[in-house]
Amino acid sequence: MSPSEQPLKSTPDSSSANSILASIIIPTYNGSRRIGHCLDALRTQVAGRDIEIIVVDDGSTDDTAVVVTAYPEIRLITQANAGPAAARNRGAAVSRGKILFFTDDDCVPMPDWIDAMLAPFQDSQVVGAKGIYRTHQRSLAARFVQMEYEDKYRLMANLPNIDFIDTYSAGFLRDRFLEMNGYDTSFPVACAEDVELSYRMSSRGWLMKFVPQAIVYHTHPATFSSYLKKKYKFAFWRILAVRKNPAKGVKDSHTPQIMKLQLLFVPFLILSIFFDLLTGWRIHLSVIVVLAFLGSTLPFALRALKKDPLLGVLSPFLLAARSCAQMLGVGAGMAYVARHSRTQVVDAR
């Protein structure tokens, strides 16, 4: 039985499950320096309301527990380090709310975040909801990351329902979350386990909504090296999520189709360079590939140009670097999935 199939049940601590309106769950690992900002933003929103805040300390070795216990109204759950998916599942198991909200310890929700997240659940058919990121950062890399997110939000805003809910601003009906056995704990890092759960929910035809009014502020990668490392990691683990939900490899509500086409830039460019060297044609195929890629970046670059001229000018180069990092992540992810698939076959024998 795979981790995503393991039954996720309420623990004795949650015998009064569904006795309050909502539970906010925050997993943390060595988050003593950042989680206080998140808790300060949330405690004022839950004051006097039928809503609880649960922090799951995932085996921290710093003073995270000391910081959290300074907030007597917040429930602190501690566990041996097991990863963010397991920590979120633990919080869900002990929760008492009809609705589960998730955010991260490096996020600072806006004062109306809870109200915005509650709004879609007034429709009894809605099972999940997703908010958005913003940032106060002014570094060029962080501005590019924000622009990239906003491009995805633009796509989602035009859809009647979504199939992609990130944990930084997420909401689910508790009963449905438990029915799906929560997040798949085979994802050992905070990457793509949220994608995989939303894919599974979508496959059941459940209704999930995009809520652009539900805003959390976040610290994005401040350098391009850290940004590209993150894109590599996301691409790597997305392969596992897609392997478990193959239909979503074709299209989902969060990923612009042009981004998938741009992934082919790296292998096509390499092949075209070899072709040019072997044939010696006067018209270089590699030049055509580069021009086609630049053409594919124009819509994003023009939108960026209106908001941030410097980013607009640099966008084609940054998108090319992103494609390289993602292609490397996809390749490594495919190798990882293939290796583990062989291991499972051997174990089954």
pLDDT for position 286 = 93
Residue pair 179/127 in contact by the 8 Å Cβ criterion: no
What is the rounded distance in angstroms from the CA atom of residue 51 to the CA atom of residue 175? 17
Residue pair 180/197 in contact by the 8 Å Cβ criterion: yes
- Does residue 278 have a pLDDT over 60? yes
pLDDT for position 175 = 97
Residue pair 90/76 in contact by the 8 Å Cβ criterion: no
**Tokens linked to 184:** 């798949």
Helix (H, G, I), strand (E, B) or coil at 230: helix
The pLDDT tens digits for 7-32 are 566 665 555 667 899 999 999 999 99
Residue 9's CB: how many other CB atoms inside 10 A?
Answer: 9
pLDDT for position 345 = 38
What is the rounded distance in angstroms from the CA atom of residue 323 to the CA atom of residue 318? 9
Cα 339 to chain centroid, rounded:
25
- Does residue 342 have a pLDDT over 70? no
Q: Which own/partner contact pairs does 284-292 have at CB distance under 8 Å and 24+ positions apart? A: 289/265
Mean pLDDT over residues 226-242, rounded? 93
Strand partners, 107: 218
**Tokens linked to 200:** 């599974």
Please give the share of the chain, as a percent, with pLDDT higher than 90. Answer: 79
The pLDDT tens digits for 38-89 are 999 999 999 999 999 999 999 999 999 999 999 999 999 999 999 999 999 9
The model's pTM is 0.90
Which of 318, 329, 328, 325 lies closest to 293, judged by CA?
318
pLDDT for position 13 = 57
Exposure b/e, 204-229, CB count within 10 A at least 16 = b = eebbbbbbeebbbbbebbbebeebbe
- Does residue 249 have a pLDDT over 90? no
- Does residue 346 have a pLDDT over 60? no
- Does residue 169 have a pLDDT over 90? yes
Residue pair 327/263 in contact by the 8 Å Cβ criterion: yes
Mean pLDDT over residues 193-211, rounded? 95
Average pLDDT across the chain, whole number: 91
Domains defined for the chain, CATH in brackets: 3-223 (3.90.550.10), 257-348 (no CATH)
**Tokens linked to 306:** 């209106």
pLDDT for position 139 = 97
Strand partners, 207: 126
- Does residue 225 have a pLDDT over 70? yes
Please give the share of the chain, as a percent, with pLDDT higher than 70. Answer: 93
Cα 181 to chain centroid, rounded:
18
Mean pLDDT over residues 286-290, rounded? 94
